[in-house]
A and B are shown apart, each in its own frame.
Chain A
Amino acid sequence: MSSEKLFSVFKEKAGVMSAQVHRVGTWAQAGDLIADQVKELKAQRVHLFSTPQLEKTNCRATLAKTGVTISDKLDRHELDITDVGITYVPYAVAETGSIFHPETDPLGRAVTMLSPTHIAVVPFNKILPTVADALETVVKDFGAVPGYMSFISGPSRTADIERVLTIGVHGPSKLIVILVDEGV
């Protein structure tokens, strides 16, 4: 499947799972988009999990301009009150509209779980066709099975009361995926 085709399947399926999908050309543009999204959400506190890829977006600087409080501290109580968690996520899966997040660092994991919004930056050329492909690829890329891996598909949801779908139970109520064309 061509990368454009993978993207269109991913976008459709991620839409089914109620994730927001954006596509930008460069890492810098991803940084700008993160700042725009944070502004739009009227967020006051954001939490970053710093990786070399995320730093390429220069989002720290663009976010600073918005006046938002930025933290990258491993502190569950601070994480609990943050409005937006921002991470780099190395893969996406077309067939399910998921992002695939192998991450053992406790901060890297917590940032995707505790705030009401999670923004994930994902390389465009890492949209894999299927869950099976993702599991195969991650073992090849990491040389072993990462200790903690999650397929994340849209926001946290429940239908436990009267089968009424409600978004945002224990995890984020919003998942924003930004795909970046520029290579890692």
Chain B
Amino acid sequence: MSNEQHNQDFKASIQKALNDQVMRGALSRFADAYPTARKNAYEGVDIEALRSEIACAKGKNGENLDQLIQLFTENATKRGAKVYFAKTAEDANRYIANLAIEKKVKKIVKSKSMASEEIHLNDHLKKAGLIVNETDLGEWIIQLAGQKPSHMVMPAIHLSKEQVAGYFSKELKSDIPPDIPLMVQKARVELRTKFLEADMGISGANFAVAETGTIATVTNEGNARLTTTLPRVHVALVGIEKVINDFKEAANIIKALPKSATGQLITSYVTMVTGVTPTEVDGQVQDKELHIVLMDNGRSDMLKDPKFKQAWQCIRCASCLNVCPAYQMVGGHVYGHIYAGGIGAILTFFFNDPTDAEKPQNLCLGCGRCTEVCPGKIPIPDLILEMRRRMAQKKGIGLIPKAIFDLVANRKLMHSLLRVASIGQFPLTGGKPFIRHLPFFFSELTKERSLPAVAPKPFRDIAKEREKKNTGKKKRVNFYAGCLIDFVYPHIGTAVYDVLEHAGCEVYFPWEQACCGAPAKYMGDTDSQTRLAKQNVAAMEEGNPDYIVSACPTCTVAMMEDVVEVLKEDPAWHERAKKVAAKVRDFSALAEELGVKAPGKKKSLKGKFTYHDSCHYRRHLHLSDVPRKLLTEVAGMELVEMKDSDQCCGMAGSYLVKFPEISAPILQKKLDNIAATGSELVCVDCPGCVMQIAGGLDKRHSSVKIRHTAEILAEALRKG
């Protein structure tokens, strides 16, 4: 398939998902309920300590994998199990099919196993002439529908009861109404016969304990217990990442998995099988056979990778999907293979085929909400970026993005073009500060939001005028403006100057500063990122400042962390980068550090505001409390929290260019949550979020205003 065709197919699958109102409704209802359910389930549990223990233990399990597998095999074998190591999907499929034939098995029942979905086990067994029935209700529905799961834990979340009734009616050859309790009863009766008649039961495992040779399933319906109890042969298909050390680690997984997966205190059943146990065959007691298939299928490659080994810490709870703004919009099927979401793209990259992960990985907004809830503390967005970087190295980033980054990295050319643009855009804005309609292919971008116009006078010109007053005797702050403040929102820059000067600093604008390099980083273009890092480090050294301040969290992270990381191979530049990075502060953090206070005794501003947490600001800089404090205590305003204040606004760097169709509904949700507070003002600390949210508010003709924290503080200090 050509790349263009591949791209079009992917875009079409996204559009199909976005148009699927049933799925959108189900995902949105679950996403709304999940955070509270999770919080309640974890009540009284030290989540952070638990996450650390799990991440650390799983990490160690990875390091000791060979010994763990050996120990598991020994102990399970001692208890009568047969352990088979399957290097590949084909090995596992062949072993299980041959075993079934050898044991004269005709009918098989299966309980839920993502590993079996991964290797298309059912197809192989069917080809071998075996009758296989899924017994997990969701998996059975998927099997009847001839589909694949759209969520690791809730496989049929994308289907409506009417659709399910249709599949049931066809299978049971009678008219089944879309009544959920009735359909569940029908499934119980229908599948009960399958359980009683099956010769073989195939299960997965949520974990396998090396010290005891135990395999465990964590389930709600009871089908796994029946699958592992009634048939005379039990096969457990277990990915090798599921092998853990001991019962102590098992107890932690039992504690975290249900709470993180569905917000349940625990599932109805946690079943642990150790070796061979007796079963009943034709009224007689006999030992059942237990075969444990430990499957690699790309897992050890992932473990050997110095970066991706972190994905070993995954316990497959799918809480990362439950909080993912992109997943909530498009569901699981657009992720291509079996595993969905950001973690799905990573697993597919190793378990299936890197090319299958190429398109889906782009769906990651990089907002980091997943990492915040992950019981294994996996930095999923960082791994996605690493994947993107490797793909870009291998295939290039595409001619148009390459040309854009070459332009961005050429500071002078870029800046003169932006100046020209500020004049050229008048026909588009009609003299107003927003671009409401863009011609041609850009039109998708302005459908749900207006784009801001380039400012008539960039901040660098304003800064030049203000610097005339500097004496060189106070604390020196170098301002890193970033593209948006410099060329679109210069008034935010002015506010930053006002506040910092009020706090007794002199603020300078190093003229040679260029783009922070984040857009290049998010596209995987390390070359451009490195060039920009050198240029900015050199620029920011000017005048040996006490602080370097930025009012854009993405730029702050770029100047505080990325410049150091990207220049680490070059010792001289690395040293310079580290020195610069150590002086970098985000605006609000510096305002707090300098102890900015209202001059008068009276609180100067009145009224309510709501606050939107920008992704980098909250999850990378961990600053979400600081602006709330500044805005209430210094500016004197009253905070009304909005629902999901920490959910991405859909801007996410270049996301709104890559996926305007997903970015737009994410923005609409944000606007609804803002409106629900009844507040006329929303504050943020990121000019990117200002751009996204202001555009959405404008398009809605909303009277709500959006302001950067610096603007409100500057106003409060002026009035005070």
Contacts and interface: CB of A to CB of B under 8 A. Distances in A.
Contacts of A135: 247, 250-251
Contacts of A168: 184-185, 188
A87 to B, nearest CB: 14
Which interface residue of A13, A106, A107, A162 has the most chain B CB atoms within 10 A? A162
A163 B28 CA distance: 11
B285 A170 contact: no
Interface in B167-191: 180-181, 183-185, 187-188, 191
A147 B275 contact: yes
Interface in A111-157: 113-114, 130-132, 135-136, 139, 145-157
A176 B30 CA distance: 30
B226 interface: yes
A130 B251 contact: yes
B380 interface: no
Contacts, number: 172
A19 to B, nearest CB: 10
B251 A146 contact: no
Nearest to B230: A76
B266 interface: yes
Contact of A113 (B136, B225, B247): B225
A97 B266 CA distance: 9
Q: How large is the interface on B (under 10, 10 to 19, 20 to 34, 35 or more residues)?
A: 35 or more
A148 B267 CA distance: 17
B221 interface: yes
Interface hub of B180, B184, B255, B279 (most chain A Cβ within 10 A): B184
Given A104-B277, A148-B272, A170 B265 contact: no
A171 B254 contact: no
A162 B266 CA distance: 20
B614 to A, nearest CB: 30
Contacts of B283: 74-75
B180 A164 contact: yes
Interface string A156-174: 1111111110101111100
A17 interface: yes
Which range contains the number of A residues in contact with the other chain? 35 or more
Most chain A C-beta atoms within 10 Å of own C-beta, residue among B180, B250, B268, B278: B268
Contacts of A170: 135, 188, 191-192, 195, 221-223, 225-226
A147 B220 contact: no
A159 B262 contact: yes
B220 A156 contact: yes
A96 interface: yes
A106 B180 contact: no
A57 B187 CA distance: 36
B261 to A, nearest CB: 11
Interface string A70-87: 000011110010000000
A140 to B, nearest CB: 12
Contacts of A171: 221-222, 225-226, 268-269
Contact of A132 (B181, B251, B266, B267): B251
Q: Of residues B136, B229, B266, B273, which shows the largest number of chain A Cβ atoms within 10 Å of its Cβ?
A: B266
A60 interface: no
B483 to A, nearest CB: 43
B429 interface: no
A122 B265 CA distance: 21
Contacts of A68: none
Contacts of B662: none
Interface centre among B26, B180, B181 (most CB of A within 10 A): B180
B116 interface: no
Nearest to B278: A106
B237 to A, nearest CB: 19
A156 B265 contact: no
B154 interface: yes
B291 to A, nearest CB: 15
Interface stretch (B158-166, B296-304, B632-640, B711-719): B158-166
A160 B266 CA distance: 17
B212 to A, nearest CB: 5
A146 B274 contact: yes
A136 B250 CA distance: 11
Contacts of A147: 79, 273-277
A149 to B, nearest CB: 5
Contact of A149 (B79, B226, B271): B271
A105 interface: yes
Given A135-B251, A169-B222, A160 B271 contact: no
B265 A16 contact: yes
B156 interface: yes
Nearest to A160: B138
Interface in B495-531: none
B606 interface: no
Interface in A45-75: 74-75
B29 to A, nearest CB: 6
Interface of A: 13, 16-17, 74-77, 80, 96-98, 104-107, 109-110, 113-114, 130-132, 135-136, 139, 145-164, 166, 168-172
15 contacts: A17-B266, A76-B230, A96-B266, A98-B266, A109-B229, A110-B280, A132-B248, A135-B251, A136-B247, A148-B273, A151-B254, A151-B271, A153-B266, A163-B157, A166-B184
Interface of B: 26, 29-30, 33, 79, 135-138, 141, 154-157, 159-161, 164, 180-181, 183-185, 187-188, 191-192, 195-196, 212, 214, 220-223, 225-226, 228-230, 247-248, 250-251, 254-255, 262, 265-280, 283, 285
- Closest 10 interchain pairs by CB? A171-B222, A160-B138, A132-B251, A147-B277, A156-B222, A170-B222, A169-B221, A96-B266, A151-B270, A135-B247
Given A132-B247, A159-B154, A160-B137, 15 more contacts: A17-B266, A74-B285, A98-B270, A106-B279, A106-B285, A113-B225, A149-B271, A161-B159, A163-B157, A168-B188, A169-B223, A170-B192, A170-B222, A170-B226, A172-B222
